[in-house]
Chain A
Amino acid sequence: MSCYSVAADQRARRPEVEVLSLEENQMSFEVKKTDASMANALRRVIIAEVVTMAIDLVTFEENTSCIDDEIIAHRLGLIPIKYAFKPGKTKLREDVSNDEAAAMSSERDIQRRFRFTRDCDCDGYCDWCACTFKLHVKYDEVIKNVPEHEKNQPYTVTSINLESDDPDVFPVHFVSERERNTSSEPGIAIVKLAKGQEIKLSCIAKLGCGKEHAKWTPVSKCVFRPKPTISWDDNAVRALPPNLRNIIVDVCPAGVLGYEDERDRTSIVVKNEAAILDFTKDIQDLTKQLSPQNKPMFHASASTTDFVFEVESLGGVPVDDCVLCGLNEIKRKLTNLQVAVAEVAAEQA
């Protein structure tokens, strides 16, 4: 668990972030002491403005497969590309100013290594703004290596066959180990080749962000929801006969409500906070009916300051980096705003 402080002013809210879970490609965290607009800004920025790399230009030399060039190019574009910073080995950009560097989350940030092509003074593309991939698969050659019983099958060209010219940049074949273990292909399928067919192309991956094209979006899911505040009238619940308690538990889909102690079955707790707000009204109506005082035994309301985020990465950028980059992007935007406001104020003064 780690906390990041975002604002420095005394009067400002001091939002806190608490990471609830962090797995290979998904993450759940809580943002506290802020409001919906801030939470939404973070969500939007993660989806649309985190800088990633994706194949942007494909040059075909040979394509005798049954899929047309433009479709293959489109498929290549959607393959997530990963940049892995290797301390000491990766040569970083030298033109990054200290301010810029400070604005970036860490050395792992892709912008420490690559420039946007539009900001680069090269002609077309260069090592500092792009990465080249090559793909050359000839059915008649690759089929020699497959087992005999698969010889009549078409060969599936996957992201495995993409060869990068930069050791730090490579396509993502699987989002997680679990996906790798369950997949029947060695990577992301691009095209199938039959006997005599060949595909030879080179691709250039460039930096971009989700608002330009969906292929640069680093996450498949980024969503938040207000954290519910829950209160039970435990005494009233305990006073109910057991069968009525069961009815309360069953009013929601399985897994939303449950007993605190399965053997005791006296106090009901919320097992799934994420879903409880949808069913609050149902539970309230029911408990109001059951209550002798005609008073609901349950209260839940959406918090306006605390939010639970769930983010799922596509693999190109590690999920925690997605969030960090998002936060930094907001920071950068706010800094820009601050500077602009200061300028205007200076002008008016």
Chain B
Amino acid sequence: MVRLMQSAAVHHLHSFNQFLQHDLSSAVDCALPHECAFDGCHERLQVMLQMTAIAIDYPILNKDPQTIITPRECRERKITYSAPMTASFKCGMNGIDDRGTITRTAGYLPIMVLSNRCHLSGLDEAGLVAAREECDELGGYFIINGLEKVLRLIQVPMRNMPMAIQRPVYRGRGAFYTQYAVTMRCARSDQSTCTMTLHYLSNGSMRLRVSVRKQDLMIPLVVVLNALMPDLYDQGNFSHAISTGTPRDEGSKQSFFTNQSSTKANPLALLGTMCASLFRQNLPEDADDDVFGLFFLERYIAVHVNSWSAKQDVLALMSRKLHSFVHAKCCEDNMDSVSHQELLMPGHILSAYIREKMEDTLGQSIAHMRRDAKNDLTHSSLNIHQNILPYCSKILGRYVGVVGSKISSFIASGNLISSSGLDLQQTTGFAIVAERLNKWRYLSHFRSVHRGQFFTTMKTTSVRKLLPEAWGFLCPVHTPDGAPCGLLSHISAKTHVVCNSSNMAANTKNWRILLIDILISLGMLPTRTLSLGYGAKNGRANSTGCTTSWKCMSDHLHVCLDGFVLGSAPDEVCANISWVLRRLKVKAFSAIGIDTTLEIAHVKQQGLSASCPFSGLYLFSQPARLVRPVLQCGLTAQIELIGPFEQSTLQISCTKSGLSLPEDNISTIVTETHAEIDPTVMLSFLASLTPFSDFNQSPRNMYQCQMGKQTMGTPSHSFYHRGDHKMYRLLTPQSPLVCTRDYHNLTLDLNAQGTNSIVAVVSYTGYDMEDAMIINKSAFERGFGHGTVYKTLLVDLTAEAERRKGPLGKTSLLCFGNKNTVMKPANNGAKNTADGPEYVAPMLGEDGLPSVGQKIGPGDPLWCAFVENCNEHIIGAHKDTENAYVDAIRFLGHLPCNENRKDITQHRASITLRYPRRPVIGDKFSSRHGQKGVLSVLWPECDMPFCESGLTPDIIINPHAFPSRMTIGMLIESMAGKSAASCGRFHDGTPFAFQEHRKAVDFFGSQLCAAGYEYFGSEPVYSGLSGLLMRMEIFVGIVYYQRLRHMVSDKSQVRGTGPVHPLTQQPVKGRKRHGGIRLGEMERDSLLAHGISFLLHDRLVICSDSHPARVFVDTRCGAVLALHPPNSSGKGHILTLASITIPYVFRYLKNELAGMNICIGLFYEK
């Protein structure tokens, strides 16, 4: 059984594996061949290049297949975990398809850790530990320059589903355009997509919009249809298909096909002329319009189906939906709801990106050949004729080698550099760094889903809404507050993403045919396309002798499988079909072969009105869909995986009651068809970790999801083998006394991140006001909340030498070393002795680096290097103001690109420093209920209040923290923790476990009572100062407290005077640069309001850019500027000067204004 933890990133892994196994080869098949013609003197030479295969190896180092490289090494060495990728091309000449195969290396492709191409794949726990990984390594990320990068899951419109949309901006697209459109995102077999949008024009016609290389192509639907079906018979059928029975429609039906008779005889050529300009480089220069038209239909129109007639069925369906939408017979589909969305998977975007880059490569190679053909006509054509393969190989080699690095930089930066845009709405933000701040944060990177970069700039909040359709799929709790609120959500714990066409993998054809057989036998009328034989590739539909279902579609629902229109059936038949399929889907014996993730959405015919969705029976089997398990009602409740679109057609009860429904008579089913497995399935991993979250006010649970991700914990067990820039570690982690079921399922105890602490809720010293908390000094001294920060810094001497490049631009070679090489002049043949001490930096070792465990104070040397052939030394100092200890030092060796270098000296080293961080006043702590607080004082144990048992609390918080926040869950946890400690067992805090008839308070209260405590958990407490009993009983219990990473020592900023900006002379900003803190307008206003003008003057002038200036007193201008110092002994007026103090910026302003011929005068009065 796969543990829940391992399943956290499994969709990333499966998607990448699917990309390696299937998508990549499909991408190769889909890639366009490129052609080029050479016009020689004697003959014409037609060269064709086509990609035939991409092979991906295992990650290796230094191009040597023997030296394998592991992810651990890449992390430590700050290099990319990548494997060589080779591309094979077929070269054809003069129509002969295969003149030979060219195989060239295409660079290095980053490999997802734990995928099928990773060396760690298939290792067990012990194997992973031996490879210096975590024992529960998730994989699912790439390592780029030592950083762990995750490709973000992005919500994109559902594929192969026509969706009715309404956008006022569409009216601006041209004359007659209306706001109505139907859009469909069609997916090719390599998972790349192509969106077509059908616009409705107020004159009754329709236009199809397709984006080709980011350019919108608007083509009248009739032109496309004519090209697809030249026969009048089909046209008649089509008119039926789109008609919805209104008189106005009848009119448009008449006119639909009339205006085209006058145009060219060949509709394909007509289409070709409309789009030819966009495809010039893909096709031979002499291709005629027919070819362009064909190319366009094949590559851009309904790309999810192959046959011509299937494409026309799809267009018919779209136009039918558009008509009913325009005539208010169906409602708009909400593109913001999860029911109309799927996820952009890492493998899908990679395959699309690789294909595009490979096509670019071919295009560049062909362009190169064309240039060659032009420039060097006779010579090259002669050459080419004889050795076409070497010639092509040479040209391809010039361009194909960079593909790998382009993909690396895509994953590294998250920026998509693409000519087509890959049918996506954004070009940035595709990759995020998987920070190992703690396990919780790390996990949620793989579970996060983003709505898209485009929406972050949107002013409206509608996209951020929590819609009911997202129920069960996206967690309603786990979304950040602030800018990404509602756009960045997390998939719920039980939800997973379909990554492969699972059951279809073995026998794709058979599975589909079987499904179609079932559908037909249950009463579906097949379309003509289907009855002609499924999968007739590229064949023009034969027009004669077939019945079609389009005519009777008016009262039938259509049946679609992955956007392929299979046929139609009446509503009752569809209900029956979906019922039967649903039963087959859950059967454990999958001999029948129905995909367990098949999405069966029967949108019932509920009357034709603008509030009902467009009816139909939609089946989806393709990847990238979210699915989640629910219980299917029946005699035996079985687990069924449902998708979000499917969910909106189902009746799902929240509890298991009322499950047994008659299985034989489906027409009587009016109540629930499904039930939730557990009420907690709607929660994401993190949200499900909050104990008793059902007792809390909901925003507090959201805050906890954020704070859980900022907690110091146990991010890793292999600290020594990681070179992360910054890591936080809690030294006293404990297993929580009260935790939820998912905490155990996720085995998060391995990475505990908190401490069970005795918490008294009392207002005791005055130091606990406004969310401040008091910590027992003795508890602190015994280790409460102690933590460590690890920082790794990279010393790159090559970069250092570059930075210190002399004025002559000469770079000198730097080497680590510490020996003092300044020699005393040798006298009388005696041995040269070093002048001065033996080492330049006495604190460092001979290699110029500190020893492990050494204490490094502020300003101490951290590394030392000498300039080769020179007696100069460079010492790198510890820049922080804190003491640190050296945790590890690594020499990083050479990068593969440096292999030709002869010397073996080290030029790169990474130094990991350890900063002990004991809690100090101002550090942030929180419970698991969004109750954060700041440490205000360490209070001595003897002064703390004490219980009758002698117990003193570790933490004191103020009772005012509760009334407005309403975090009852924390109070329950406190009681449960106390009872757990006194009973000696762990308590379960899973939400929704208690009900009205079984209250949590009673459950834990009675346990506390049995343990000799007061029922509600309060205790008589004595004041530690006076020894007298306090008037009230105090609520004391055990709460799991987290220490957050926000620490005062990282933030404290102090400045009297210091560095200033060279232009304005004002203090620079930034803590690192020892800058100042902005005293803004509002702060200034409040000082003004207080009338503290001296303070204001001190802050804004003296501590800022105070500047002594001299002003001309008795001239009219009162200028501050003077070209020459006024000379009293000179001729002319005797000028008097007065010294005044002004802010320097004022002088600067005056300078700038003087540049515009404006003078500012200051008038001085004694």
Contact = CB atoms under 8 A, between A and B. Distances in A.
A44 B949 CA distance: 15
Given A47-B942, A210-B941, A278-B1020, A36 B1028 contact: yes
B782 interface: yes
B997 to A, nearest CB: 24
B950 A253 contact: no
Contact of B950 (A68, A223, A302): A223
A301 B777 CA distance: 34
B785 to A, nearest CB: 13
B1027 A36 contact: yes
Contacts of B1010: 253-254
Contacts of B941: 47-48, 210, 214, 217
B1012 interface: yes
A294 to B, nearest CB: 26
A211 B782 contact: no
Contacts of B1020: 277-278
B853 A215 contact: no
Nearest to B1029: A302
A210 B782 contact: no
Interface string A218-237: 00011111100000000000
A69 B1028 contact: no
B783 A225 contact: no
Given A69-B853, A253-B1012, A275-B1012, A43 B1027 contact: yes
Contacts of B943: 44
Contacts of B788: 68
A274 interface: yes
A316 to B, nearest CB: 15
Contacts of A215: 781-782
B911 to A, nearest CB: 16
A33 to B, nearest CB: 16
A40 interface: yes
A31 to B, nearest CB: 12
B948 interface: yes
Given A37-B1026, A211-B940, A225 B948 contact: yes
Contacts of A211: 940, 942
B1027 A70 contact: no
Contact of B1027 (A37, A221, A254, A274): A37
B1077 interface: no
Nearest to A302: B1029
Interface string B925-956: 00000000000000011110011111000000
Contacts of B950: 221-223, 310, 312
A215 B779 CA distance: 10
Interface string B993-1010: 000000000000000011
A36 B942 contact: no
Interface string B769-789: 000000001110111001010
B907 interface: no
A259 interface: no
A71 interface: yes
Contacts of A174: none
Contacts of A254: 1010
Contacts of B731: 71
B923 interface: no
A36 B788 CA distance: 43
B942 A60 contact: no
Nearest to B782: A214
Interface in B104-139: none
Contacts of B946: 223
A48 B940 CA distance: 9
B441 interface: no
A74 B1027 contact: no
A63 B1012 contact: no
A322 interface: no
Contact of A63 (B777, B782, B853, B940): B853
A223 B948 contact: yes
A39 interface: yes
Interface string B1018-1061: 00101011111100000000000000000000000000000000
A78 interface: yes
A343 to B, nearest CB: 28
A214 B1028 contact: no
A336 B672 CA distance: 83
Interface of A: 36-37, 39-41, 43-44, 47-48, 60, 63, 68-71, 74, 78, 210-211, 213-215, 217, 221-226, 253-255, 274-275, 277-278, 302, 310, 312
Given A74-B783, A274-B948, A278-B1020, 9 more contacts: A36-B1027, A37-B1026, A68-B885, A69-B885, A214-B782, A223-B950, A225-B948, A253-B1012, A277-B1020
11 contacts: A47-B941, A69-B885, A78-B782, A215-B782, A217-B778, A223-B948, A223-B950, A224-B1027, A225-B1022, A254-B1010, A274-B948
Interface of B: 731, 777-779, 781-783, 786, 788, 853, 885, 887, 914, 916, 940-943, 946-950, 1009-1010, 1012, 1014, 1020, 1022, 1024-1029
